[in-house]
Amino acid sequence: MTKDLIEYLARKVVDNADAVRVEETPEMYLIRVADGEEGRVIGRQGRVIQAIRTIARAAAGPRERVQVDVYGASSRGMDAADAPADS
């Protein structure tokens, strides 16, 4: 039920609802959306994804631990290979 709820909420905030997929792993739910739509699921200052997390936790059982993340969102920063070299 939690997976379906997360998918429903994510579909409501993106333009391409057919591209939304929610993968369930033992430790988390991972939302996958079309390229370029990660920002819509995350929202300004992370408000949308935080709201999705809050609703999912409220809908889960009392002993069920729920973590929700957006695929690719945490790996958007520059890594050491992309950093400019010192001259």
Domain membership flag for residue 83 = no
Asked whether residue 84 is assigned to any structural domain, the reply reads no
Sequence letter at residue 47:
R
Would residue 79 count as lying in a domain? no
Residue 47 in any domain: the answer is yes
List the domain range (segments joined by +) for residue 51: 2-70
Note the pLDDT tens digit of each residue in 31-84.
999 999 999 999 999 999 999 999 999 998 888 889 999 987 654 443 434 444
Assigned domain for 42 exists: yes
Q: How far apart are CA 63 and CA 68, in angstroms?
A: 16
E-assigned strands of the chain? 21-24, 29-32, 68-70
CATH value at residue 51: 3.30.300.20
Reported pTM: 0.78
Query: How many domains, in total, are found in the chain?
Result: 1
